[in-house]
Amino acid sequence: MKNLKLFLTASLMISLAGCKKETQNPNEKKDSLTAKQDSVAVPEIHKEYYGIYMGDFAGKEMITPEIGEDYEGEVFKRIVLKINRITKDSVYGQSIVDGNQRPFRGVFNEAAKSFILDEPGNDKTDGRFEVKLSNDSLTGTWNAFNKTAVKAPSKIVKLVKKEFVYNPNFMLSPDNDLIDWENPKSFVEKYTDEETGKTETYTASKNRIASDAVFNINASKQKLTEKDLKNLRKLDMEIIKNSVFARHGYSFKKATYRNFFEQTDWYIPVSDNVDNDLSPLEKENVALLNRFIKYAEDKYDSFGR
């Protein structure tokens, strides 16, 4: 009887161990790249080249002006290349442009100090970077894999190594443009001729404009109250709120916000999710701003560009 109990106990333990093993494996969600890195301890080299390289991403594309015919012009965007890991055979990192973060993998030519870096290819904006390292700069080209899917399939890349630092004191400068160029709105206006007294109507395109409040209110440092916000414009509060995320290096998908913060020399987009990086004060202020933004109104005016 005693031997039978021991046999049953041992069988039960083996069964439980097998079940545990079977239930764990389906939940292990590692991509092939991560799995390969974890399974083989490949030595890393040239860690001095790791980091953030940021600068111009320029290409020629057709531009449609408000008045006149379309023309081909050079369009400059800001791009970030993050080099995270270099081994003898591979380079790993991410590219960030227009709020779109893409992984890349490539090779490093030690003799020429050059990189060939390929984005995955499953997005229409993916392509190949061919850049050369010189001191703290990366220069070269990017070419789209699908040349018909993007406006400028070939671009020039000029980057400088940067160090991302969170600083709650970062603010927009009074020299910055505070016009939202991305969301013009049409208004029906009236014009009365003084001589004839005849009134005519016409449609005018106007843009949102922020006030100087964005230079004075810092949602990363001061606890905001309803009194602070009740007279602000909607765009004011959007900028004040998104300044919090910009300080943490959030990569904005909306061009409105990118345009404001790319005017500064401190904004470095490094992540598409910084929610966990916000301080308790910042989270509280963002929640309050969201409440007021929902019902706030905008100030519109006419501007030439």
Count of structural domains within the chain: 2
Give the pLDDT of residue 38.
46
Residue 12 placed within a domain: no
Q: What is the CATH number of the domain that holds 138?
A: 2.40.128.120
Give the pLDDT of residue 55.
97
Q: Are residues 192 and 289 in the same domain?
A: yes
Give the pLDDT of residue 304.
63
Residue 137 placed within a domain: yes
Q: Are residues 196 and 150 in the same domain?
A: no
pLDDT band, very low/low/confident/very high, at 2 (cuts 50, 70, 90): very low
CB 135 within 8 A of CB 113: no
pLDDT tens digits for range 12-56: 444 444 444 444 444 343 333 433 444 468 999 999 999 999 999
Q: Are residues 201 and 156 in the same domain?
A: no
- Note the Cα 31 to chain centre separation in Å: 23
123: phi then psi, degrees, rounded to nearest 5: -130, 145
Mean pLDDT (whole number) for 106-114: 97
Q: What is the CATH number of the domain that holds 230?
A: 1.20.58.1690
Q: Are residues 183 and 252 in the same domain?
A: yes
pLDDT tens digits for range 181-229: 999 999 988 888 878 888 888 888 999 999 999 999 999 999 999 999 9
Give the pLDDT of residue 280.
98
Residue 135 placed within a domain: yes
Residues spanned by the domain of 250: 179-301
SS3 category, 196: coil
Q: Are residues 260 and 295 in the same domain?
A: yes
DSSP string over 69-132? --EEEEEEEEEEEEEEEE-SS-EEEEEEETTEEEEEEEEEETTTTEEEEE--SSSTT-EEEEEE
Residue 189 placed within a domain: yes
pLDDT tens digits for range 267-278: 999 999 999 999
Of the three residues 162, 192, 224, the one that is the final residue of a domain is: 162
207: phi then psi, degrees, rounded to nearest 5: -120, 150
CB 165 within 8 A of CB 249: no
* Mean pLDDT rounded to a whole number for the chain: 88
pLDDT tens digits for range 178-191: 999 999 999 988 88
Q: Are residues 288 and 197 in the same domain?
A: yes
Q: Does the pLDDT at position 86 exceed 80?
A: yes
Please enumerate in sequence order all residues whose Cβ is within 8 A of that of 276, keeping only pairs 6 or more positions apart, or say none.
none
Give the pLDDT of residue 40.
60
Which of these, 246, 252, 169, 172, lies nearest to 212 by C-alpha position?
172
Neighbouring CB atoms inside 10 A of 296's CB total: 18
Q: Environment class of residue 25 by beta-carbon count within 10 Å: exposed (0-12), middle (13-18) or buried (19+)?
A: exposed
Q: Are residues 133 and 52 in the same domain?
A: yes
Neighbouring CB atoms inside 10 A of 197's CB total: 7
Residues 214 and 267: their CA atoms lie apart, in Å, by: 16
Give the pLDDT of residue 191.
83
Give the pLDDT of residue 62.
82
Give the pLDDT of residue 256.
96
Residue 27 placed within a domain: no
Q: Give the strand order in the sheet containing 199-209.
A: 179-192, 199-209, 300-301
Which of these, 198, 199, 241, lies nearest to 217 by C-alpha position?
241
Give the pLDDT of residue 23.
40
Give the pLDDT of residue 69.
84
Q: Are residues 189 and 297 in the same domain?
A: yes
